[in-house]
Each structure stands twice: as C-alpha cells, then as structure tokens.
Amino acid sequence: MKQKFYDTAVKQEKVVLVGVITPNETEAREKEYLEELEFLVATAGGLTVRTFTQKLQRPERSTFVGTGKLDEIKEYVVAEEIDIVVFDDELTPSQMRNIERELQVKILDRSNLILDIFASRAQTAQAKTQVELAQLQYLLPRLTRLWTHLERQKGGIGMRGPGESQIETDRRLILNKISLLKERLKLIDRQNETQRKNRQALIRVALVGYTNVGKSTIMNMLAKSDVFAENKLFATLDTTVRKVVIENVPFLLSDTVGFIRKLPHHLVECFKSTLDEVREADILIHVVDISHPTFEDQIRTVNETLKDLKVVDKKTITVFNKIDAFNPADHNIDIKDTPLNMDDFNHSWMAKNNAPAIFISATEKENVEEFKTMLYDAVKTIHTERYPYDNLLY
C-alpha cells in the first residue's frame, strides 16, 4: 500500500490592504499608514500581496469604500485566492457585515489586527486580562454578525426566534465576563500598587516611545537583562521593571508597551493600568527611531498619548536611537561631502527642539557612555533633592 504524506506546515495567509484618502490626509501620509499596516500584518504572520486606496470625501457609510472599488477588490480576491482583507480604519459592525457578505473572506480592521497581535504577545496575567477585556469590548457591538444564519427568524411578542434569544444570551454572557475582568484588573492593580509602594525609595525611570524604536534593546543594554527584543511591532506588551546601578546610584528602569498611530481608544483605556509605571516615574526616557522617515510624526503621537494619560511636566530625556541607520536623504538633508558626525547631530534642529537630547546606537554601542552619564546626572539630581542627607552619593 502506497504511503500518503500530508503537509502539516501552517500556510501563510495572503492579505490585501485597503485605505481611504480623505481631504484631511495626503497620499503620502496614507501610504505611510498602509506601510505601517503592512508591518502589523507581517507581525501577525500574514503576507501582504496588494494594497488598494480610494480618494473619498469621507468613507462610505455602508461599505467604507465605493461599490466600484469593492467590486475591483472582489475580483482580485477571487482571482488571487486572498485569505484576509484588512482595512486601515475601524469599521462599524454594519460595514464589516456588508463587506464580508460581498467579499466572502475574513475581514479585519486596524483595531482587530492590533488586538490579535496583543493576544499573541501577552505573557502575564495582567496583560492577558487586559487583552481579553479589549477583545470582548470590541466584539460586543458586532455580535449580530456571528448569527446571520438565523437572521430570517423574526423576534417580537409570541415570536421570539432562537436567533434573537441566542444573541441576547451571548450579550449577557459577554457583559458578565467584562464585569468580571474589570474586577480582576482592579485586584491586579491593587497588587501592583503594593509592589510599587515597596519600591518608592528608589528613583524610577520609564522608557516610552513609539513601537519598534529600540526600547527593549536599551533596557537590555542598561540593565544587562534579557527582555524580549525583536524587529516587530509590539514585541513588548508586559511592563518589565529592572534595578539598574550606574556608578554609585541605583534606580528602577521600566520598559513599557509602545504607542502607535490610530490606536483604538478602548485599547488605551484597557492598558492604562500597565502604563501606571509611566505615570509614577520620576524621569521619562523618550526613545525615538531617528532612522524612520517620519520620526517627527511618531514623536507627536507619543506626546499626544502621554497627554491623554495625563503624564505631563515630567523630566524627559529624548534619546534618538539607530543613528547607525540614519539616512539624511530620507529627511531632505543635503550632504555633499562627509556623512553626519556626532557634533552635527548635537547641533541639529532635532537636538534643539527636543532638549535635553542625545544621539545613540544601542545595537552598535555608539555614544552609549555619554547617554549613561546624562542619565546618571538626572537621577543623581533628583536623588539629592529627595534624600539630601543620604551618604550613598559621597
């Protein structure tokens, strides 16, 4: 008898991206959003094969894009056997239902994709609870989409069909689970608060920044630890705290979840407790990927998110990381002869607009000692003010 062999390898899902260019956005800006969305898809394990965009005054209420564009997408999806279509903005439950009915493939929006990545990255009980809460809050208004096979059965007095009762049952179960998860998060928050109280004697420093800028690499460099670092979005989801000693000054360094543009509001709400380390820090280290073509937008996004978290008026050191990968041409800087040296960086508009600032390469260990000295001086200043009679520094 001839032996049969089966391929058990997980097939990489083929993905199509869809974006709408409104009068508020430029084509270049939407292109950049879609490139970031492609990176999110890659992080989730998918393969982006094509991108569709359409200029509209505002997204169509029923199908997000126009019917002509939706037909074009459908033709491509069928011809190329596409598995998933991802939209760059959050879809309403009715939009998702209509698009899914038309395209007959899995439909995701940016929020759903980010939640999927968060779910795969969560390690601790707190992160898992926060992700599950966000997923249920996202699912709740979209429940009807899961029960369309019962949609012909009408409800009403004396005619309550199984479709209606099943949706109501599911809704009640989800609301109960959301309530339970919120209570669990409150308990975890109280436990974390107790832990933080026990650490109050030490100065606390928090790494903040856009996702994938090198925060975990800097954390590993300073703390000599092994926090998971990877060239993917949201490699770190759980807050990590390590004790660091520079010369004779000990302090606590925390690595937090990265920020991203168009981050759904309910996700920010769910992760507020994780970001308590940021709120209670004495010093913020704002890490910026200087090699990214639009790092200024990323700085703005981080500052706006910090403002939403009511984290203002804290001493902040801006660390421009990845100077080894910096390309002046990406930023319209005309270099005729020699490449930029450290002196050029220190006298640039980047340093002046974000002072105090320092330029480093965490992977190449370039200018790292100067960064440690700057951080040491900042921690020492606060330590001396808080504990004027502490002989630790003398």
Cα–Cα dist 231/382, whole Å: 34
State yes or no: 210 annotated in a binding site.
yes
| CA angle at 127 for the pair 170 and 18, rounded to the nearest 5° | 70
| Element of type H or E holding 319 | strand 315-321
Length of the chain: 394
End-to-end Cα spacing for the chain: 83
Residue 151 lies in a domain: no
- Which alpha helices (H) appear in 104-211, and where do they start and end? 110-121, 125-139, 162-198
β-sheet bridge partners, residue 283: 205, 315
Q: What is the CATH number of the domain that holds 244?
A: 3.40.50.300
Peptide bond into 356 cis (omega under 30): yes
- Over pLDDT 90: what percentage of the chain? 23
Residues 113 and 126 in one domain: no
pLDDT at 105: 92
State yes or no: 382 annotated in a binding site.
no
Residues 176 and 273 in one domain: no
Residue 6 lies in a domain: no
Structure tokens, 387: 């504990």
Mean pLDDT of 287-294: 90
pTM (two decimals): 0.77
State yes or no: 78 annotated in a binding site.
no
What confidence tens digit (pLDDT) does each residue in 244-289 have?
Answer: 888 888 888 888 777 888 776 667 766 666 677 788 889 999 999 9
Q: Which residues contact 44 (CB under 8 A, 6 or more apart)?
A: 113, 116, 117, 120
Residues 296 and 311 in one domain: yes
Residues 136 and 47 in one domain: no
Is the Cβ–Cβ distance between 311 and 279 less than 8 Å? yes
Cα–Cα dist 200/86, whole Å: 45
State yes or no: 227 annotated in a binding site.
no
Cα–Cα dist 382/290, whole Å: 28
Residues 175 and 301 in one domain: no
Residue 1 lies in a domain: no
| Total Cβ atoms within 10 A of residue 286 | 22
Cα–Cα dist 330/292, whole Å: 8
| Element of type H or E holding 348 | none
Is 199 a residue whose pLDDT tops 70? no
Cα–Cα dist 270/314, whole Å: 23
State yes or no: 348 annotated in a binding site.
no
Residue 158 lies in a domain: no
Residue 359 lies in a domain: yes
Place of tokens 């949706």: 167
Structure tokens, 266: 């309910």
State yes or no: 241 annotated in a binding site.
no
Q: Which domain holds residue 179?
A: 122-145+163-198
Q: Which residues contact 161 (CB under 8 A, 6 or more apart)?
A: 150, 153, 154, 155
Q: How far is CA 200 from CA 197, 210, 249, 382, in A?
A: 5, 27, 15, 13
Residue 5 lies in a domain: no
State yes or no: 234 annotated in a binding site.
yes
Amino acid at 294: T
Residues 317 and 282 in one domain: yes
Count of structural domains, the chain: 3
State yes or no: 211 annotated in a binding site.
yes
What confidence tens digit (pLDDT) does each residue in 322-373 have?
Answer: 998 887 766 556 555 456 677 777 777 777 878 788 999 988 888 999 999 9
Residues 194 and 204 in one domain: no
Residue 71 lies in a domain: yes
State yes or no: 213 annotated in a binding site.
yes
C-alpha torsion sign, points 300, 302, 305, 311: negative
State yes or no: 238 annotated in a binding site.
yes
Task: Order the strands of the 47-55 sheet from edge to edge.
Answer: 47-55, 14-21, 84-87, 106-109
Residues 172 and 210 in one domain: no
Residues 344 and 210 in one domain: yes
State yes or no: 209 annotated in a binding site.
yes
- Averaged pLDDT of the chain: 80
State yes or no: 163 annotated in a binding site.
no
Q: Closest by alpha carbon to 100, among 136, 144, 38, 56?
A: 144
Residues 218 and 355 in one domain: yes
Q: What is the CATH number of the domain that holds 65?
A: 3.40.50.11060
Residue 156 lies in a domain: no
Cα–Cα dist 70/75, whole Å: 9
Mean pLDDT of 194-203: 71
Most confident of 53-67, 130-144, 230-244, 265-279: 53-67
Residues 111 and 226 in one domain: no
| Total Cβ atoms within 10 A of residue 222 | 23
State yes or no: 89 annotated in a binding site.
no
Backbone angles phi, psi at 335, to 5 degrees: -110, 115
Place of tokens 């965490």: 362
Residues 359 and 249 in one domain: yes
